[in-house]
Amino acid sequence: MTYHIPVMLKECLAGLNIHDNAIIVDATMGGGGHSEAILESNPTVHLYAFDQDPDAIEFASKRLSPYSGRVTIIEDNFAKLRTRLAFQEINRVDGILFDLGVSSFQIDEARRGFTFSQDGPLDMRMDKKGELTAEIILNEYSLDALTKVIRDYGEEKSAWKIAKLIVKEREERKFRTSNDLNKLIQANFQINPKFITKILSRVYQALRIEVNQEMEVLTSVLKDALNILNPGGRLVIESYHSLEDKIVKDFMKFESLECTCPPNFPICNCGKKSTLKILTRKPLVADISEVNDNNRSRSAKLRIAEKL
Ligand SMILES: C[S@@+](CC[C@H](N)C(=O)[O-])C[C@H]1O[C@@H](n2cnc3c(N)ncnc32)[C@H](O)[C@@H]1O
């Protein structure tokens, strides 16, 4: 079974710039494709690999078992990166990779509820211990809260109309499976099936981001990641939609600035120092042959920065 094809593998490895005895963190291990390549790239590297999804932990633990002396797998949210590493007495690392979002396995498994293309429970939790599910959002969020989720995280223009339909529908029957949601949208948007698919992908993306609090978690981890990097250490971040890419881009830009005083100030009094050097002025994207081989690489944006 192909659990997940790692995206821009060569570029991520080059970005990490792994040296002898490096300590590297893969914050999003998934099926272990990037992790395995990191371990293969240098026999002296030690890898700390995180994932919050027990299916990923089970699959990648087997895949990475040949490297058992050099890999430490941690089942947790990468929001706890710093504390979980501190438990292992690791306070400094040489490179951190984030390959954000969900794996192909998570999307393809109907029982996980991430996809609109198969019927399944409206779950969408990466961490199955999490309390919030897509079903709870659809059945319990207010009209305003639903509109905000669909508009902010799905960037869907018809957010209010969709939220209103959801609120009306659930007065009759609760949402239980993806088909319940799909039918509602299909019945109320009498347009080209291609546009229906676009609307569905935006609504599903919005629900997934809210269920897993993806924006909050990403925003909070970046500073911790920077703080634990050794000087010269690399931050390598792959994102798959504009919302997460913007968080990464703004963070790297801010951390790379030497001064944040208004331009008309004669002398700097902000005290800001730059802590990162951006190595990718524009994000790297997958080349055409990779996109042809792996359609899921088409939206990837890779940003790399070095700790000063
Ligand atoms: C795109 S996949 C990574 C694929 C991986 N690079 C590979 O080569 O197979 C993203 C993975 O990150 C995990 N993930 C996403 N957000 C996470 C978070 N906040 N904490 C821990 N794991 C997370 C998901 O469960 C998923 O397995």
Structural domain ending residue among the three candidates 185, 211, 237: 211
Residue 118, C-beta contacts closer than 8 angstroms, at least 6 positions apart: 110, 178
Confidence of residue 263 (pLDDT cuts 50, 70, 90): confident
**Region 177-203: what's the mean pLDDT?**
91
Residue closest to 189 by CA, chosen among 175, 176, 202, 177:
202
Between the CA of 24 and the centroid of ligand 1 the distance, in Å, is 16
Confirm whether 63 is domain-assigned. Answer: yes
Amino acid in position 293: D
Instruction: State phi, psi for 42 to the nearest 5 degrees.
Output: -160, 125
Query: Which atom of ligand 1 lies nearest, measured to the CA of 78?
Result: 20
**Structural domain count, the chain:** 2
Task: Classify residue 44: in a domain, yes or no.
Answer: yes
Q: How far is the CA of 103 from the centre of ligand 1 (A)?
A: 6
198, pLDDT greater than 80:
yes
pLDDT surpassing 90 at residue 119: yes
On whether both 172 and 245 belong to a single domain, the answer is no
3-state secondary structure of 1: coil
Report if residue 92 sits inside a domain.
Answer: yes
- Confidence (pTM): 0.97
Tokens linked to 229:
């990097």
**pLDDT over 90 at 76, yes or no:** yes
Q: What SS3 class is residue 97?
A: strand
- Of 211, 229, 256, which residue is a domain's last? 211
Q: Are residues 30 and 88 in the same domain?
A: yes
Domain that holds residue 14: 9-105+214-307
CB under 8 Å to 97, separation ≥6 — which residues?
12, 16, 24, 25, 26, 27, 28, 34, 38, 236, 237, 238
Domain harbouring 25, CATH code? 3.40.50.150
Instruction: Please report whether residue 22 resides in a domain.
Output: yes
Ligand 1: does its nearest atom lie under 6 Å from the Cβ of 15? no
Residue 127: inside a domain, yes or no?
no
Q: Is residue 1 domain-resident?
A: no
Of the pLDDT bands very low, low, confident and very high (cuts 50, 70, 90), residue 192 is confident
Closest protein CA for atom 5 of ligand 1: 30
